[in-house]
């Protein structure tokens, strides 16, 4: 942590609709107002309004990302390469990745938020190495 407080960078590129956008809209102003926290958000111009980042008084610094970083492959490439470089250049203390992926290497602690593990979880049946499956458990839907 530096003399200006804890510097948190949020990689918001993949938070573009639905619950992810709602979460960012609620979370960013709260983090920006926390004493001792400097907040930097990486997102495209077309995401700013959805996140409520049009008002500079929120205490949130916005780092613009080129509009061409919109398709999934471009977002992942940017998040895996440019985000760690930007994190170093801006002397970030914590990198927050709220959308299920983070850079494989970063020079600061990284917080990865997994909001919905269901797409990657194929079965809800309990399993253990010694016994294998114990029967199908109903999945909550």
- The pLDDT value recorded for residue 49 is 82
- Is 91 within the bounds of a domain? yes
- Is 141 within the bounds of a domain? no
Which of 93 and 24 is assigned the larger pLDDT?
Answer: 93
pLDDT band at 117 (very low <50, low <70, confident <90, very high): low
- The pLDDT value recorded for residue 141 is 44
Instruction: List the Cα angle 69/72/76 in 5-degree steps.
Output: 75
- Is 124 within the bounds of a domain? no
- The pLDDT value recorded for residue 99 is 79
Stated pTM of the model: 0.74
- The pLDDT value recorded for residue 119 is 56
- The pLDDT value recorded for residue 134 is 45
What's the CATH code of the domain at 22?
A: 3.40.50
- Per the structure, the count of domains in the chain is 1
Stretch 4-31: mean pLDDT: 85
H/E stretch holding 74: helix 72-89
Where does residue 21 rank: exposed (0-12), middle (13-18), buried (19+ CB within 10 A)?
middle
- Is 135 within the bounds of a domain? no
**What domain range is 63 assigned to?**
6-116
């Amino acid at each position: 942590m530096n003399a200006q407080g804890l510097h948190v960078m949020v990689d918001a590129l993949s938070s573009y609709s639905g619950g992810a956008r709602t979460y960012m809209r609620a979370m960013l102003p709260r983090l920006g107002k926390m004493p001792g926290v400097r907040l930097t958000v990486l997102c495209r111009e077309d995401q700013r309004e959805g996140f409520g980042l049009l008002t500079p008084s929120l205490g949130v610094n916005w780092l613009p990302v080129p509009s061409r970083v919109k398709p999934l492959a471009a977002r992942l490439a940017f998040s895996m390469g440019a985000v760690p470089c930007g994190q170093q250049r801006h002397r970030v203390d914590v990198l927050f990745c709220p959308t299920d992926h983070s850079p494989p290497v970063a020079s600061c602690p990284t917080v990865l938020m997994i909001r919905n593990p269901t797409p990657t979880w194929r079965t809800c049946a309990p399993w253990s190495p010694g016994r294998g499956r114990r029967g199908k458990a109903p999945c909550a839907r």
